[in-house]
Structure 1
Amino acid sequence: MITKAYLTDLVYRVNGAAIEVHKHLGPGLLESIYHKCMIRELALRGINFQSELVIPFEYKGLKLESDLRCDLFIENCMVLELKATNKIIPINVAVLMSYMNHLEAPIGLMINFNVENIFHQGQKTYVNSFYSRLED
């Protein structure tokens, strides 16, 4: 059963993986490089994930083929979006929140590797209505 405490621990573990990747690579590389390294780091830490998961999409009862893919879907409950950009803009957050809603994921994490200090500048956690339904 997924609880808020479980998600807090999961965020901590995924952030730790991102810090490790950033420590070895630093800022300034392509998002695809960070993605590959995060896959390796998550696997080394025993964190289950799906990479480039196709987002299910439905419109008025019609299931649609979709080219929407989240970077990583962690432990079937967290959407992880990776960036390597100068600034996270509102559309980046909107996309993350949309993926979270379509996957019914209560929590999402945006990690931007193009910063000097990833812990203070490069990560932000987001929750939605599915989170408020969870037990502490």
Structure 2
Amino acid sequence: MDNNTVTEKIIGAAIEVHKALGPGLLESAYQECLYFELKSLGLEVRKKISLPIIYKDLKLNHGYRIDLLVENKIVIELKTVEAFTDVYTAQILTYMKLGNYPLGLLLNFHTKLLKNGIKRFIHTP
């Protein structure tokens, strides 16, 4: 399945979750429900993926945690915030760089319409 098709499925599933639950819950609630929806669509999904930090010859195993990783190529970072900030952009770009993942979706479930809380990122090594 190509990246655009997978991305469309992810966004559709996220919209489904948001329509059912609305804004105002914790990130963990949306994460579990989105995980369920994506698995129901037959996608390979892993949650809370640890990403070690490698600095020269030093490996720090307690680096970052990706909220969801779909098809081993699309990073999903979930937020429940008033608005995206540059820190959230930097966070997802760092995850993508550390794991060498080509695509990322930043999803903010604290919006009236989820379509206003979606940012797509592309990483080219």
**Is the pair's TM-score, using the shorter chain for normalization, greater than 0.5?**
yes
Give the alignment's Cα RMSD to 1 decimal: 1.2
2:120 paired residue number: 125
Q: Distance in 2 between matches of 1:61 and 1:124?
A: 34
Identify unmatched segments of 5+ residues in structure 2: none
- Does the CA contact (< 8 Å) of 2:17 and 2:30 recur in 1? yes
TM-score with structure 2 length normalisation? 0.95
* Aligned match for 1:21, one of 17, 22, 38: 17
Provide Cα deviations, 1:18-59, integer angstroms capped at 9, x if missing partner: 000001001111111111111111111111111000012211
Q: Distance in 2 between matches of 1:113 and 1:15?
A: 12
Q: Structure 2 residue aligned with 1:38, among 34, 38, 44?
A: 34
CA distance in 2, matches of 1:68, 1:128: 17
Task: Give the ranges of 4+ consecutive aligned residues of structure 1 lying more than 4 Å apart after TM superposition.
Answer: none
* TM-score (normalizing by structure 1): 0.88
Larger strand share, 1 or 2: 2
Conserved? CA contact 2:66–2:77, under 8 Å: yes
Q: 1:114 aligns with which of 82, 93, 110?
A: 110
Given the alignment of the two structures, is residue 60 of structure 1 paired with residue 71 of structure 2, yes or no? Answer: no
Of structures 1 and 2, the one with the larger relative CO (CA 8 A, separation 6+) is 1
Q: Residue 73 in 1 paired to residue 58 in 2?
A: no
Tell me if the contact between 2:80 and 2:110 (Cα under 8 Å) persists in the aligned partners: yes
Mapped to 2, the partners of 1:46 and 1:16 lie a distance apart of: 14
What is the aligned length? 125
> What code does the residue aligned with 1:42 have?
L
